[in-house]
Every structure is written in structure tokens, then in C-alpha cells.
């Protein structure tokens, strides 16, 4: 019987709050490819025909892109994660491993790619499970390991590891999302310190108002 169905194993249950991972690390991210074009940037700040600040503008564009990705929890370019889970000493039963960041599937393209599911065995060796031993459940944003080997270490705090890629999210190409990015870019360009002598007022329909409908809501 799958541990998800056991009343004493709420950790594995179908409804969880908080999620059941112990630790997550970002292990791969594109920090060089531009999203907004240089033409879009210069038009936004009325800096047409002036190339003297191109390098600075592109560095702000990268910071803007990463901030938008982090706020929405959705990648413009793929991001790789490594997630750790406790062992719980359960063998021969299905494990349900929540993923912290996911993307929507679009046009039959998967939002998530599972790169590896691994565990430390009782010889303290990191072992990779065969791909046939697990699958991704898009309805629950989780990896389901159909049966955990009984050789899993009982000494590591978090012996189970999932490495996966959060693929590009199609909503990041929405004009409203790009407009929010241009607003943030303009703010970073015009305010180069965290303090100001001016009395600043947040405009209606600013960055958060534009982005909030596209921020993931996880129940």
C-alpha cells in the first residue's frame, strides 16, 4: 500500500502544507542571455542613438530579468534545481516528492524535466534510480517514486535528492509581463541608490499590479 494512503504518514499525503522537501538549491541558471532587446531598452528611456551606456543597460537588463523570474517563480530561460528530502525509513512504498518551482505545460511541451532522482545508500554512496522507477505528476507538481529501495541510508539527514529543470514558461512572453520588466528597468536606471532625497510615490498599475495575475498560486 502506498504510504500516501496511510493515516500515520501525513508527510506523504496528497494535501500538504508546508511542502515536504527539506532543502533546495539553485544549481544552474542562464546569467548571460538577454531577454529584452537593446532597442527596447533604449526606446524605454529615450536614449536613442547613444551607445555609450550599452554595457550598463545590458547589465540592468539581466538584473531585471532575474528579478522578474524570481518574483513570478517562472523562468524566462531554464533554471536547474537540486532538492533534498528526508528518508523517513520507508521502503517498498511510493514516495511523493514535492518540487518547489514548476512551469506550466504548453502545447504539449513539459514544464518540468526530471534530470535525476538519487539517494545515498547504506554504504554512503550516491546512487541514481533508473528512470523507470519514478515519474513526474504534473497535477501535483511532484515526483512519484514508485518504490524506494531498502538500501537507502538511515544516517543521512536528507538522503533523497531530485535534480530537475524548470523549463521556460510561455507567460513570460506576454506583453504585460514585458511591460512590467521595462518599468522595473526604468526604475533601476533612474534610481542608482537605495536612498533618495526626492519624495517618491508609487504609480497605479505599477510592476506588482501588472505581474500579480501571473504569479503562481499553489494550494
* Domain residue ranges of the chain, discontinuous segments joined by +: 3-28+78-170, 43-73+174-214
What are the residues whose beta carbons fall under 8 Å from the beta carbon of 167, sequence distance 6 or more?
A: 75, 78, 103, 109, 110, 111, 112, 113
The b-or-e profile of 136-146 (16+ CB within 10 A means b, else e) is beeeebbbbbe
Q: Confirm if 142 and 109 have CB atoms less than 8 A apart.
A: no
pLDDT of residue 82: 98
How confident is the model over 88-108, as pLDDT tens digits?
666 677 889 999 988 888 776
pTM beyond cutoff 0.85:
no
Contact (CB, 8 A) for 152 and 204: no
Question: pLDDT tens across 168-208, in order?
Answer: 999 999 999 999 999 999 999 998 776 666 666 666 567 88
Amino acid at each position: 500500500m502506498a504510504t500516501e494512503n496511510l493515516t500515520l504518514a501525513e508527510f506523504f499525503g496528497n494535501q500538504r502544507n508546508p511542502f515536504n522537501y527539506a532543502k533546495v538549491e539553485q544549481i544552474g541558471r542562464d546569467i548571460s542571455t538577454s531577454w529584452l532587446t537593446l532597442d527596447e531598452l533604449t526606446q524605454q528611456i529615450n536614449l536613442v542613438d547613444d551607445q555609450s551606456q550599452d554595457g550598463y543597460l545590458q547589465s540592468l537588463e539581466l538584473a531585471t530579468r532575474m528579478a522578474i523570474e524570481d518574483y513570478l517563480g517562472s523562468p524566462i530561460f531554464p533554471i536547474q534545481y537540486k532538492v533534498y528530502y528526508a528518508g523517513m525509513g520507508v521502503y517498498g512504498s511510493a514516495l511523493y516528492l514535492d518540487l518547489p518551482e514548476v512551469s506550466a505545460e504548453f502545447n504539449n511541451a513539459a514544464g518540468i524535466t526530471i534530470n535525476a532522482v538519487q539517494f545515498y545508500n547504506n554504504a554512503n554512496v550516491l546512487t541514481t534510480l533508473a528512470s523507470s522507477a519514478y515519474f513526474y505528476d504534473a497535477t501535483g507538481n511532484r515526483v512519484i517514486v514508485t518504490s524506494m529501495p531498502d538500501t537507502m541510508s538511515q544516517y543521512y539527514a536528507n538522503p533523497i535528492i531530485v535534480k530537475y529543470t524548470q523549463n521556460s514558461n510561455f507567460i513570460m512572453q506576454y506583453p504585460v509581463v514585458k511591460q512590467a520588466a521595462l518599468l522595473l528597468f526604468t526604475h533601476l536606471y533612474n534610481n542608482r541608490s537605495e536612498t533618495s532625497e526626492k519624495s517618491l510615490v508609487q504609480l497605479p498599475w505599477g510592476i506588482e499590479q501588472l505581474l500579480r495575475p501571473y504569479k503562481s498560486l499553489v494550494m
